[in-house]
């Protein structure tokens, strides 16, 4: 199963993104396809925060538009939204220690732990920090 990182969600949503068409095509294929795919809840929360943030985008998107976008993704019958399970802490601490993660890197470790706990084998992202987690193959928009 493949999971989608926040940056891809943002690129698919924002038409002014240089990666918009590739990200949108990927999400359309996933949402309309037969294979299971995933988005961690934490990525959906981060998407809402960034998509509506005037410090990130000028003009920022509206919260209503961001919520509508999430609602649209959630309608995909093949989507699994990843949440913490009872194994999450054990997987997260193992990743934090093995990759010597500090500071802001904890967020990506949390996403990686969610994916690994749920059997996700790939993450669609443009964030190279996921290369710290060999259990999770990185897939870029051009592959």
pTM, to two decimals: 0.94
Give the total number of structural domains in the chain: 1
Per-residue pLDDT of the chain (143 residues; tens, 9 = 90+): 999 999 999 999 999 999 999 999 999 999 999 999 999 999 999 999 999 998 988 888 999 999 999 999 999 999 999 999 999 999 999 999 999 999 999 999 999 999 999 999 999 999 999 999 999 999 999 87
CATH of the domain at 31: 3.40.50.1010
pLDDT at position 80: 98
> 3-state SS of the chain?
CEEECHHHHHHHHCCCCCCHHHHHHHHHHHHHCCCCEEEEHHHHHHHHHHHCCCCCCCCCCCHHHHHHHHHHHHCCCCEEEECCCCCHHHHHHHHHHHCCCCCCHHHHHHHHHHHHHCCCCEEECCCHHHHHCCCCEEECCCC
Q: Which domain holds residue 60?
A: 2-139
pLDDT at position 81: 98
């Amino acid at each position: 199963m493949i999971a989608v990182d926040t940056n891809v969600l943002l690129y698919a949503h924002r038409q002014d993104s240089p990666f918009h068409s590739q990200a949108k095509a990927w999400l359309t294929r996933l949402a309309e396809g037969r294979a299971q795919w995933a988005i961690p809840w934490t990525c959906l929360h981060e998407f809402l925060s960034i998509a509506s943030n005037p410090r990130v985008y000028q003009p920022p998107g509206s919260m209503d538009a961001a919520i509508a976008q999430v609602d649209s993704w959630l309608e995909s019958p093949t989507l699994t939204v990843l949440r913490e399970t009872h194994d999450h802490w054990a997987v997260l601490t193992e990743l934090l220690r093995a990759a010597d993660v500090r500071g802001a890197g904890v967020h990506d470790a949390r996403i990686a732990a969610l994916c690994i706990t749920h059997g996700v084998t790939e993450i669609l992202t443009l964030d190279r920090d996921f290369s710290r987690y060999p259990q999770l193959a990185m897939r870029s928009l051009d592959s």
